[in-house]
Structure 1
Amino acid sequence: MIRRAWLLALCFVAAVPSVATSAAPKRKSCARVGTTIDASSYARVYRSRGYVYACLRDGRRRQIGAVREDGFTGLYRFALAGRFLATDKLVCLRDVDCTASLEVRDLVSGRVVRSARVDDDANEIRDLVVTGKGEVAWIRSNNVVQQVLKLDAPGPPVVLDEGNDIAFGSLALAGTTLYWTRAGVAKTGQLGTAHDSALLARP
């Protein structure tokens, strides 16, 4: 009788962990949530309920920030390559005093690896490209002049071209070569180097 009681007790103890495990809530997958903005082999960037998130291939989710929906404050421009996401965000006080902030974020580590800030109410990015190493280039306009800029090394952004005849929507990237159009003429520049891996973190 005593032996039977011990066996029943052991069976009960063995069953408890399995019950607790089965009762544990499963983490909701972010793979199919929201509206996709861009995707790479490392992550899917999507919009959901006024915010931008990155869903990593291992199932982790990172919140990037609020979307610009009121015409003023928030994220509004995105470019994704590999594990690096480039964004531009406007932060406005009283809908007038605005600061534009460009950031490149390593989605795997969560770190911001490059950033550039512009204090100008009318300064918005029209074109944005990023490499798989986190190097970034863009066309920014302040309603007076357009600039083609890049950020691929420590220090402030480098101006590659400037004028009021640079075409929006013309910035493109092939390897390390940038392309854009000014006054109908194709222009080129270099973004990083083929061997530059200073910001490429370990997988």
Structure 2
Amino acid sequence: MKTRTPRERRQERTRHDILTAAIDIIAEEGADQLSLREIARRIDYSPAALYRHFDSKEAIVDAVCNEANRRLGDSLAIVPETLPPVEYLIELGMAYLRFADENPQHFHFIATWQIPMPPDVTREDIEQAAEDPDDPFSRLYRGIRRGIDAGKLHVRPGYGALEMAFSVWAMAHGMAVLQTQRLGRMPIDFPTANRQALADFIAGMGIV
């Protein structure tokens, strides 16, 4: 394993400080308020010197996006895909909720940053993307497909695997948003309530 030089370690620390400041600003003020000047002010750095590490604000946002997706992917990857389909989907939803609770700033970024999707995306494109073993949505989509193939989930007119995956994601995401905001202060045993809500919702997709 190559030993990093002192300069490389300093560069890594500076990049980490830049991204930490960026995610703090996005969480506090929104992505539209992110600026190189404010990042530099927070880490006591000159705006011009930031260009030694990132060539633009967009590059910083991309790096934050990659880090947020990496953390989310790592959280979901803990759930074994060998679990029975329904149990897998419930545990995947619970993992998403834990990610939001343990990574509130990165979750806020995912919840608010508009990631562009091609206007002409097709179901075939999504089927191909589902082959990506690490993509968060693809994990959910594959789990839905397994549930359908096992006869645990039932396709209806206009409501197939893609619609089911969207619905489960929307439910888990909605609960996560509410629980990381003011409603998270309610006197509720959220892990128990979350698990039951996911189980009931997914069970409904199995009713013929």
Q: TM-score range by the shorter chain?
A: under 0.3
Bigger radius of gyration? 1
Q: Which has the higher contact order (CA 8 A, sep 6+)?
A: 2
The structure with the largest helix share of the pair is 2
Q: Which structure shows the higher strand fraction?
A: 1
When normalised by structure 1's length, the TM-score is: 0.25
Name the TM-score, length of structure 2 as normaliser.
Answer: 0.24
